[in-house]
Structure 1
Amino acid sequence: MAADFAVVLDELDTTLGSIESVIDVDRLRREVAELEQQAAAPDLWNDVEAAQALTSRLSYLQGDLRRVEELRRRLDDVGVLHEMAEEESDEATAAEAERELAALRKEIDELEVRTLLNGEYDSREALVTIRSEAGGVDAADFAEMLMRMYLRWAERHRYAVEVYDTSYAEEAGIKSATFAVKQPYAYGTLSVEQGTHRLVRISPFDNQGRRQTSFAGVEVLPVVEQTDHVEIPENEIRIDVFRSSGPGGQSVNTTDSAVRITHLPTGIVVSCQNEKSQIQNRAAAMRVLQARLLAKRQEEQRAAMDALKGEGSSWGNQMRSYVLHPYQMVKDLRTEQETGNTAAVLDGDIDGFIEAGIRWRRQQETVAAN
């Protein structure tokens, strides 16, 4: 057992050393110090948006630094604890060291996944859109289930979320919804969730109790920043205003504050109705439109690269299946990650699927590069 402990401890020490190298702990400390100095400026809050961005990034980096330093301290301590237990033949202390080593393995594995998020936009906040697809009212209900799943996931991690637009279906569920996850690396983390999700269950909307298969699509985009240079001339957009509405078409606003923007050259349409004023809704809708245009530009660049390589994308669109009948199973069709605890997954416990997806994506990129 002592030999096994030493082997695992050595493996974790190597992995954590690699993480420290990738994160560049010294650079991280310098950046935290610089941001702390900027955050102490007396005129910081003269520009509220810039101040919020700065303090949010500082808080995130401080958390990153604390996390890796704490893991290093605990890894050193658990080695000492195990040595003491061995010298004194103390079984209780040895068991405590084993439990701590298992906990460290889980946390270091999770942190290692974060180091795989090194794409151009991975560090951005995420803009998530969920749409009902084939399956009628069941698909609309499934889209709402997925929205709740992601909102619960964000809540579990204490990530801030802002819902921009929700289009309710007539009978139940939603036609579509768009929301932002305001957390660094949310895009890199959630981007592996993009694709078509499939639900199999006994339909609660079928009075004959038949099994129904329905589909919902998840789109994940990086939130646009000033450096992206996504300029949209006024003459390329049409802006319509309308009255916000809630479930069943009931009015939730007595003024025409909701905004719909149509990008004329591409036909992309976005809307926002969840803010209190027309100005706020227009600003939010423009952010969504910019993100969609940035994604379109990325797709065109990828298509051009694929054409040069003479190959298409190997990433399938349908990515996860949720089966509630005749058995309980959620399975990722790319990574083979699966669980029988469907209730936990639909309540936001999706970290295992996300981590497996990030590792799978890195493998695909490595294969494509060779």
Structure 2
Amino acid sequence: MLEQDFSARIRSLRATYADIAEVTDLPKLDREIAELEEQAAAPDLWDDPAAAQVVTSGLSHRQARVRKVRGVESRIDDVEVLAELAEEAGDADTEAEVLAELAAIEAQIQDLEVQTLLSGEYDAESAVMTIRSGAGGDDATDFAEMLLRMYLRWAEDRGYTTKVLDTSYAEGAGIKSATVEIDAPYAFGTLSVEAGTHRLARISPFGSADKRQTSFAAVEVIPLLAEATEVEIPETDIRVDVYRSSGPGGQSVNTTDSAVRITHIPTGIVISMQNEKSQIQNRAAAMRLLQARLLILQREEEAAKKKELAGNITASWGDQIRSYFLYGQQLVKDLRTGFESTQPDAVFDGDLDGFIAAGIRWRSLNK
């Protein structure tokens, strides 16, 4: 006789899964996938690369969503069979296997539950995240690079595709700014709760007095909208500057003037791109991001909406969302939700799911 009764936990998982499947509307996703598969099979699909990208990206995202949801149902079926085998055999090893699998499914269910709260207009889109150093000198630029690595590791752990679009290196340590694209379903809705000012308090490794140093970095997140390619930008509205890409310490990483900076004169928006192989590719990537930003601006009805979506972040005391303490107590604490971790090393290594889930629930309750 086993010590565990798995039936109640399995029933609970099935009930929660049923609610998630209903909210997700799998039949609708199936219909959309069928339509997109038909479009993707058209022989002239790539005659219009921008339109083709919309089709293939939309298809990939929907297929991934369906696989994720239906995969949970399959895992519940499998663990139920395994639980029955454990009960019949009275095997402690199989019991331990069932317990581990139940815990893994419960974590996956929790992740899907959080995603059901992502119902904003842009939440299902991929994301573009920009990290900028703020006050704090070398500590701030180093902190900005720590945050960049943190988000890249988080995306990597989840199997998301990332591309660093632009990096501005500091003269000393770290980076002045970096822009990274995260291509995954609901990347914007998930990461948008990370937008704001992040504060680091630690004993500075760059000073000689062993004094505590406080530094800041700003995180901005915007959705990468496929429909933004429809936004027309007159050539007279932009100024294009080309320059040589640079690496850490000003070291050249490209021997030609391939980096591109586009300034949108009417709004003052500046987009820099240097990580593609050619000036043409960098310009195309910069224009795509500029179009996305302008589309957001066109749809905003008030300044508060702009701050929510694009992040009017000052990288100082005003918009703080999270503090990282690397001395004494060793703590990372979100100032909105109260969620905290006493393992800052794990957080900087990409362990952000608890903070993000708490942020999404907090936002849902405070709309």
TM range (shorter): 0.7 to 0.9
Q: CA deviation at 1:185?
A: 1.6
Q: SS in structure 2 opposite 1:256?
A: coil
Matched, 1:323 2:320: no
CA displacement at 1:153 relative to structure 2: 1.6
Identity of aligned residues (%): 62
Give 1:34's aligned residue.
35
Name stretches of at least 5 consecutive residues in structure 1 with no aligned partner.
Answer: 307-315, 366-370
Q: CA-to-partner distance for each residue in 1:149-186, whole Å, 9 max, x for gaps?
A: 11122222232222222111111111111121122221
The corresponding residue for 2:254 is 253
Question: Structure 2 matches for 1:110-121, cutoff 5 A?
Answer: 110-121=111-122
- 1:300 and 1:229 map into 2 onto residues whose CA distance is 20
Please give the residue correspondences for 1:234-253 in structure 2 after superposition, counting only pairs within 5 Å: 234-253=235-254
Instruction: Trace 1:221-236 onto structure 2 (pairs within 5 A).
Output: 221-226=222-227, 229-236=230-237
Q: How does 1:1-370 map to 2 (within 5 A)?
A: 5-83=6-84, 85-86=86-87, 91-226=92-227, 229-297=230-298, 300-301=301-302, 303=304, 317-365=319-367
Deviations 1:120-173 (A, max 9, x none): 111111111110011111101101111111112222223222222211111111
For normalisation by structure 1, the TM-score amounts to 0.86
The alignment partner of 2:232 has SS state of coil
SS at match of 1:252: coil
**Deviations, residues 198-226 of structure 1 (Å, cap 9, x unaligned):** 11111111022211110000000011323
SS in 1 for 2:201: strand
**Which amino acid is the alignment partner of residue 146 of structure 2?**
M
Aligned residues of 2:228 and 2:291 also touching (Cα < 8 A): no
**Distance verdict in 2 for CA 1:303–1:329, change over 3 Å:** closer
Between Structure 1 and Structure 2, how many residues are aligned? Answer: 356
Distance 1:103-1:255 versus aligned 2 partners, 3 A rule:
closer
Whole-Å separation in 2 of the counterparts to 1:87 and 1:155:
40
Q: Distance in 1 between matches of 2:191 and 2:260?
A: 27
State the shift of 1:82 in Å: 3.7
SS in 2 for 1:240: strand
Distance in 2 (alpha carbons) for counterparts of 1:321 and 1:334: 11
Q: Give 1:294 shift.
A: 3.5
Range with greater deviation from structure 2 (11-20 or 278-287): 278-287
- Residue 130 to residue 72, structure 1, CA distance change in 2 (3 Å): same
Aligned pair in 2 of structure 1 residues 225, 160: CA closer, same or farther (>3 Å)?
same
The structure-2 alpha-carbon separation of the partners of 1:182 and 1:19, relative to structure 1 and needing over 3 Å to count, comes to same
Q: Secondary structure at the match of 1:213?
A: strand
Unaligned runs of 5+ in 2: 308-317
SS of the residue 1:192 aligns to: helix
Write the distance in 2 (CA, Å) between the matches of 1:216 and 1:225.
Answer: 29
Cα distance in 2 for partners of 1:274, 1:335 equals: 36
Is the contact between residue 259 and residue 272 of structure 2 (CA under 8 Å) also seen in structure 1? Answer: yes
With over 3 angstroms needed to count, the CA separation of the structure-2 counterparts of 1:226 and 1:102, relative to structure 1, is closer
